[in-house]
């Protein structure tokens, strides 16, 4: 009885305190009630303060009201190291070494939404532990040209693939009380002239190719933040763009989150106010340098905005909409009562990264079944190539990471082989040294003369006596390779690797090429080597993942998220002749015919097709059957077929659904990806795969109507192992 009386007494004392708690501080109150309550308590100065940066990666809160700051972190692939408050240089913390996850090309190559969810969960936990409430990623810009320096950060050339992979990533990140900031919205498809180039694109290509992944992230993933792009569209910078931000994103898609500028992407106060920007970061104005202490008050949406408001020249209703969005962000993230604690740099996260890397590795070619390597028959292995030892988690621009560790391909191979065979390493080629990023007062590396001929001769001589040669090459994160701020100069491999591979293959017919890259490359030596693997940038566990595939511990199941053309001119952006534009604008004359769509239209055979990827087992596709031959606009057709593992190893296959419109009033692609499923089959096992096709999958965007249209007529469902390997077809009619 005494305990009950004590409880009632405490309840009676504290009840008035709860009753007096402001609504915005009550986590049980509806979100919009909290937002409105906080908004009406804020001064004009406090409202403006939350709209712009106060340091390189943070924006102000409202200390008087107990509303915390917002902290951003770069990294669709990992949580970036801490930097100094007002500088880009690393702060040299000892507890900010993250797990580096594979680049998003590797994730897209898994063609597995479950793996995308694992990625989002893991990186979200890392960001939460570091108390970041906005993760600046993922990126979903379409792979339009293989020269784009930031392609490695994105999810491939097809809007259907990118859309289905981004949704689980966003959802799982945000379950940690961390906003996913999907970027770069929109049409940021080249690094050359990225800060100002005006993209000229048809409405049809915009809606069919370049917007679907962003739309899925917003409407299906529920993204809480979007980052604007550097480039222009319709003569307005994308970070303050009436058409993209106000009309499409906020009005048409119903986005209620924040639009965040890319760092340095804001150019005008009045446009920033009117054209949809909510939070400004990274601006350099009025001759400011990178470390000017009062720079943040000079931002376009800082003191200049406040002065317009005080003079009555800016509408406070627009200001309040921006502040509401920032408050939603805060209440959803670092003021959420359900926010978990997260975890950082854990073995669990490293293992998740390894699984993602393994599922994304693509077996491009395997003549004579050279792979997997049989150690019972192999006594000497020669590893050649700088990428076997080069760190790939650093460099590349804003995605550069301070990783807890990075298992190199050579280390992974050595650990896997152990004493079963002799492993020897020879460099074979070398790239010019560059200064590592994010190191304060770093000294410029002394450029030394590289004797490419001598390095090559040493490797070729060693190859003659090896049982197997493993060449680990490709691109890297140096400027002009897979790196922010510049595009590649050409499709070929750099540093005379093509010549080296050809000579290695001549010296040893058992030469396996494993490429570490985020872009397609030319392969003039493709007929000379029996096996080729695309390993991407695999993060912390890269080397162990590569070794697991090369030696058969993992049966490869990755599929290409973009086309590998034979020549650069086979790519639509280059065949059309306008890339990279005239320095002021670039016209997308390839229109909707991006990637495999262009090659299909022009009847060009790719080097390796979109969706291509081999396995150490084989899969047999059965006959496709539709449940009906005619459907109406409100109906759907269900297509089923069986897939059987006809080999002796367990494996996974990505079954891909393409749709072909046999007759349309506008030009349409020969086929378009509209669905895919990754299935796992034990040796000899058979499964039934089902796809449901509705009006959405049959529609195209009409520039005339300004709407999606599905025209009556005959369609064909094409089901295959890649865009160039169709195994089953079935026809039906839309009435």
Half-sphere exposure of 299 (CA within 13 A, CB side): 29
Pairwise CA distance, residues 559 & 362, whole Å: 6
- Sign, CA dihedral 322-323-328-330, equals positive
Given a contact cutoff of 8 angstroms between Cβ atoms, the answer to whether 620 and 658 are in contact is no
Taking alpha carbons only, the member of 175, 108, 172, 110 closest to residue 139 is 108
Structure tokens at 294: 């009062």
Pairwise CA distance, residues 502 & 508, whole Å: 10
Pairwise CA distance, residues 176 & 123, whole Å: 9
Question: Which distant-in-sequence residues (6+ apart) come within 8 Å of 217 by Cβ?
Answer: 140, 163, 166, 167, 170, 180, 182, 223
Q: What does the H/E/C string look like for 619-673?
A: EEECCCEECCCEECCCCEEEEEEEEEECCCCCEEEEEEEEEEECCCCCCCCCCEE
Pairwise CA distance, residues 285 & 296, whole Å: 9
Strands annotated E in 517-589: 531-534, 585-587
- Sign, CA dihedral 551-553-555-560, equals negative
The residue whose two tokens read 């050409």 is 490
Q: How far is CA 366 from CA 354, 371, 471, 525, 724, in A?
A: 23, 6, 15, 14, 18
- Sign, CA dihedral 628-629-632-638, equals positive
Rg (CA), the chain: 27
Given a contact cutoff of 8 angstroms between Cβ atoms, the answer to whether 680 and 665 are in contact is no
Distance of CA 208 to the CA centre of its chain: 19
The SS3 of residue 298 is helix
Pairwise CA distance, residues 68 & 60, whole Å: 7
Please tell me which residue in 193, 262, 482, 591 is annotated as part of the active site: 262
Structure tokens at 450: 């590289």
How many C-beta atoms lie closer than 10 Å to residue 77's C-beta?
31
- The strands making up 630-631's β-sheet, listed across from edge to edge, are 630-631, 725-734, 713-722, 651-661, 672-681
The SS3 of residue 585 is strand
Taking alpha carbons only, the member of 212, 181, 234 closest to residue 398 is 181
Pairwise CA distance, residues 372 & 550, whole Å: 5
Pairwise CA distance, residues 95 & 80, whole Å: 12
Structure tokens at 324: 């509401």
Burial of 277 (0-12, 13-18, 19+ CB in 10 A): buried
Question: Is 590 noted as a catalytic residue in this protein?
Answer: no
The SS3 of residue 607 is coil
* Number of residues in the chain: 735
Pairwise CA distance, residues 275 & 199, whole Å: 18
Alpha helices in 224-291 (DSSP H): 269-274
Residues assigned a catalytic role: 262
């Amino acid at each position: 009885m005494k305990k009950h009386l004590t409880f009632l007494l405490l309840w009676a004392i504290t009840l008035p305190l709860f009753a007096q708690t402001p609504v915005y501080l009550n986590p049980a109150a509806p979100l919009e009630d909290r937002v409105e309550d906080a908004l009406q308590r804020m001064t004009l100065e406090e409202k403006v303060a939350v709209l712009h940066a106060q340091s390189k990666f943070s924006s102000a809160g409202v200390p008087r009201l107990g509303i915390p700051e917002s902290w951003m972190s770069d990294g669709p692939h990992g949580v970036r190291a801490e930097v100094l408050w007002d500088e880009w240089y690393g702060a040299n913390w000892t507890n900010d070494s993250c797990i580096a996850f594979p680049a998003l090309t590797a994730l897209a190559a898994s063609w597995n939404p479950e793996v995308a969810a694992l990625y989002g969960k893991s990186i979200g936990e890392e960001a939460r532990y570091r108390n970041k409430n906005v993760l600046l990623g993922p990126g979903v810009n379409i792979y339009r040209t293989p020269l784009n320096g930031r392609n490695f950060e994105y999810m491939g050339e097809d809007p259907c693939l990118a859309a289905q992979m981004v949704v689980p990533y966003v959802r799982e990140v945000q379950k940690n009380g961390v906003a996913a900031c999907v970027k770069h919205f929109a049409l940021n498809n080249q690094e050359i002239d990225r800060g100002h180039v005006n993209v000229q694109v048809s409405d049809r290509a915009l809606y069919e190719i370049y917007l679907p992944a962003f739309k899925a992230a917003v409407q299906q993933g529920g993204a809480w933040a979007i980052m604007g792009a550097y480039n222009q569209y319709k003569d307005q910078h994308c970070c303050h763009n009436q058409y993209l931000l106000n009309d499409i994103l906020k009005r048409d898609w119903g986005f209620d989150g924040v639009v965040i500028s890319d760092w340095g992407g804001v150019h005008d106060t009045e446009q920033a106010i009117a054209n949809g920007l909510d939070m400004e970061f990274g601006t350099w104005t009025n001759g400011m340098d990178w470390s000017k202490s009062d720079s943040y008050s000079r931002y376009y949406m800082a003191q200049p905005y406040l002065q317009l408001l005080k003079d009555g020249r800016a509408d406070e209703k627009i200001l309040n909409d921006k502040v509401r969005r920032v408050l939603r962000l805060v209440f959803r993230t670092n003021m959420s009562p359900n926010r978990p604690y997260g975890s950082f740099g854990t073995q669990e996260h490293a293992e998740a990264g390894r699984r993602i890397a393994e599922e994304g590795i693509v077996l491009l070619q395997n003549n004579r079944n050279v792979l997997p390597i049989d150690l019972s028959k192999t006594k000497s292995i020669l590893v050649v190539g700088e990428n076997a030892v080069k760190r790939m988690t650093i460099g590349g621009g804003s995605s550069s990471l301070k990783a807890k560790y990075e298992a190199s391909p050579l280390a992974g191979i050595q650990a896997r082989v152990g004493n079963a065979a002799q492993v020897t390493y020879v460099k074979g080629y070398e790239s010019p040294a560059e200064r590592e990023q994010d190191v304060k007062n770093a000294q410029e590396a002394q450029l030394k003369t590289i004797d490419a001929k001598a390095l090559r001769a040493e490797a070729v001589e060693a190859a003659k006596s090896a049982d197997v040669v493993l060449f680990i090459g490709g691109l890297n994160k140096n400027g002009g390779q897979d790196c922010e701020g510049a595009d590649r100069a050409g499709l070929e491999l750099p540093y005379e690797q093509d010549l080296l591979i050809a000579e290695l293959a001549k010296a040893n017919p058992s030469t396996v090429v494993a490429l570490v890259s985020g872009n397609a490359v030319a392969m003039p030596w493709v007929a000379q080597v029996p096996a080729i693997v695309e390993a991407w940038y695999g993060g912390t566990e890269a080397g162990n993942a590569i070794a697991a595939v090369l030696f058969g511990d993992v049966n490869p199941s990755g599929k290409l998220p973009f086309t590998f053309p034979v020549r650069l001119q086979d790519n639509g952006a280059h065949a059309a002749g306008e890339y990279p534009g005239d320095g002021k604008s670039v016209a997308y004359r390839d229109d909707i015919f991006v990637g495999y769509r262009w090659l299909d239209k022009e009847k060009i055979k790719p080097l390796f097709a979109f969706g291509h990827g081999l396995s150490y087992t084989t899969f047999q596709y059965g006959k496709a059957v539709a449940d009906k031959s005619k459907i109406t606009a409100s109906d759907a057709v269900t297509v089923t077929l069986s897939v059987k593992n006809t080999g002796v190893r367990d494996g996974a296959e990505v079954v891909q659904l393409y749709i072909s419109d046999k007759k349309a009033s506008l030009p349409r692609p020969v086929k378009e990806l509209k669905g895919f499923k990754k299935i796992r089959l034990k040796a000899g096992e058979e499964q039934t795969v089902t796809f449901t096709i509705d009006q959405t999958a049959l529609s195209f965007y009409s520039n005339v109507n300004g709407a999606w249209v599905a025209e009556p007529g005959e369609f064909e469902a094409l089901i295959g192992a890649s865009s160039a390997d169709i195994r089953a077809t079935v026809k039906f009619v839309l009435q």
